[in-house]
Amino acid sequence: MLLVVTLLALIGWLLWKDSRSREHWRRLGLDWEEACPLHRPLALLRSLAPGLPQVCRLYRSSSAPVLGFFKGRTPVLMVRDPALVVAIMQADFQHFADKRHPIQLDKSEDPLSQHLIGLTGEKWKMIRSKLTPIFSSGKIKESLPLMEEAVDDILPELKAEEVDIYQLAVTLVTDVILSYAFGLSRQDPNRGLVRRMGMKSIQANYRIALKRAIRFCFPKLFRLLRLRAFEPQVTSFFVEFVKHAIWKIQASSHIGRADFISRLGSVAAVVPEEERDGMVAAQVFSFYVAGFETTCFALSTSIYELSKNPEVLMKARKELDPLLEKHGCFSYEALQEATYLTQIIQESMRMYPADYATPRICTKPYQIPGTNIVLEKGTEVLIPGFCLSRDPRYHDDPLKFDPERFSTENKVNIIPGTYLPFGDGPRKCIAVRFSMLELKYVLARVISAYDLELDPTTPRELTFDENSRVTHYCGRILVRFNKRRNLLSELIPEN
């Protein structure tokens, strides 16, 4: 009898708590969408990690500047108003300094989670300040020869038959990560193993998706179950590998290579010894966590649009041919002058931002300007970058690929907060310069050497995968690489 009463009381308490948490946004008086009821467990589970279609549906469901919704029972605020987006990301950053709830990480078991995206508060500030100089223009410039090596290997392989562009991007980007982030020369026998472990670390399956959802929605449960963000095998491999590589660098067998790993001494210097190996490995590992899918996606969608728009490709060639003639190769300086090429990448990222929704956590109570609404500390905020950069109110004819939007005359008309491919404010992508250089270099080489032809089986308009954590299209993009006739680079004598 006592057991039945206790059970009924517990159920009653849970239902009361459930209905109270579902009232969160009503209490604040905002436009909001009901949380998923308990009797629809699958939909409830799905709502824990809203994919691109759910985010777009929510964005379109309201015309208010902000909209409340729920991830499971966690209240999340979607910011639809560009001016408020700018305030949150820039001017009022001190109220939204984190991207995730701080999780008490078990540094010895899950050290790779200490990459910059996962860090919060003072630790984030300290590590970001140490990493920023490593991503400066001067340092990034030195990565160009490593990119050159990767492209030199792959370019001659391209044929006038269908090439899966994403797979091509995977090969190229992995090569650059191995050389630049991990400091592995092309002859290094470890390249194959690091490549395999890197791919293993980013592979997606339902088990990993579930773990991720638990981690973000129920961090205490995540800790209680002693779950880990990365497989133990992947973690110990990368921590040991990076530790060994740094030891080799210190032993000076590494002199002369301008890679990322060689420069992490400044990070190691500010971390307590017991955390050092994991913290340093996590920063190298961020090239996989933060830089892999994003760069592959940006590269493949840019090539997709170039194949669909030969007039854009020809215009880019008109810019690139004289630059190649003037500089003899696509040097850093030549690429700096390739402004139309930059416009192509910017426009491609407007149509296809890799991060479809950027999170922030309210780290200090925040009164939404012009309202009486105060967001509590801990409130999750979501900035729907994909929807903002395709909203016809802010970008005319948004599904038209038009690099002219980013010309010197036109780009001043872009409304701040409606174009966020790399995020914004102090938590903006730390690797913007590196990524732009990589994209520009690869595209310059492709454009100047090949005519691109979209395979007829590839759709003229992309649809998007609803289960992917970053933007990803459904199916494959197949492109034929037809050797350009009268290749300018062939007319220029070597050296």
Non-local CB neighbours of 94 within 8 Å, separated by 6+ positions:
363, 364
Per CB under 6 A, 430 contacts ligand HEM: yes
Measured from each CB, the residue nearest to ligand HEM is 423
Q: Does 478 bind ligand HEM (CB under 6 A)?
A: no
* Residues 457, 458, 464, 470, Cα dihedral to 10°: 130
Residue pair 98/361 in contact by the 8 Å Cβ criterion: yes
The residue (of 117 and 373) whose beta carbon lies closer to ligand HEM is: 117
| Amino acid identity, position 414 | I
State the Cα–Cα distance between residues 406 and 346, nearest whole angstrom: 7
User: Is residue 429 marked as binding?
Assistant: yes
Short-list 298, 292, 330, CA closest to 175: 292
| Residue 428 within binding range of ligand HEM, rule CB under 6 A | yes
The residues, ordered by sequence, that sit 6+ positions from 67 with a Cβ below 8 Å of its Cβ are 30, 31, 32, 33, 58, 59, 61, 77, 78, 80
When asked if residue 358 is in the footprint of ligand HEM (CB under 6 A), the reply is: yes
Among 53, 93, 99, 276, binds ligand HEM (CB under 6 A): 99
User: Do the Cβ atoms of 410 and 401 come closer than 8 Å?
Assistant: no
Q: Provide the minimum distance between the beta carbon of 90 and ligand HEM in the complex, in angstroms, as a whole number.
A: 10
Q: Does 290 bind ligand HEM (CB under 6 A)?
A: yes
User: Binding ligand HEM by CB under 6 A: which of 417, 424, 449, 450?
Assistant: 424
Structure tokens at 380: 């999750």
Told to check if 354 binds ligand HEM by CB under 6 A, we report yes
- Closer Cβ to ligand HEM, 174 or 435, answer by number: 435
Say if residues 394 and 386 touch (Cβ distance below 8 Å).
Answer: no
Q: Which of 123, 128, 211, 248 binds ligand HEM (CB under 6 A)?
A: 128
Looking at 177-291, list the stretches that DSSP marks H as alpha helix, in order from N- to C-terminal side: 191-202, 206-217, 219-224, 232-250, 265-269, 273-289
CB of 205 to ligand HEM, least distance (A): 23
Instruction: Report 293-352 residues binding ligand HEM (CB under 6 A).
Output: 294-295, 298
98, β-bridge pairs: 361
Interaction residues for ligand HEM, span 431-450 (CB under 6 A): 431, 434-435
Q: Can you tell me which of 216, 287, 441, 450 binds ligand HEM, judged by CB under 6 A? A: 287
- Is 241 a binding residue for ligand HEM by CB under 6 A? The answer is no
Residues binding ligand HEM: what is the number (CB under 6 A)? Answer: 25
Which range binds ligand HEM by CB under 6 A, 78-86, 328-336, 363-371, 416-424?
416-424
Residues 6+ apart with CB under 8 A from 77: 30, 66, 67, 68, 375, 379, 380, 381, 382
Q: Would you give the binding string for ligand HEM spanning residues 135-174, x where CB under 6 A is met?
A: ----------------------------------------
CB of 28 to ligand HEM, least distance (A): 24
Asked whether position 32 contacts ligand HEM by CB under 6 A, the answer is: no
Considering Cα of 121, then 469, then 477, then 418, what sign does the dihedral take? negative
User: Residue numbers of the site for ligand HEM (CB under 6 A)?
Assistant: 99, 116-117, 128, 286-287, 290-291, 294-295, 298, 354-355, 358, 421-424, 427-431, 434-435
Query: What residues are designated binding site for heme?
Result: 429
Query: What residues are designated binding site?
Result: 429
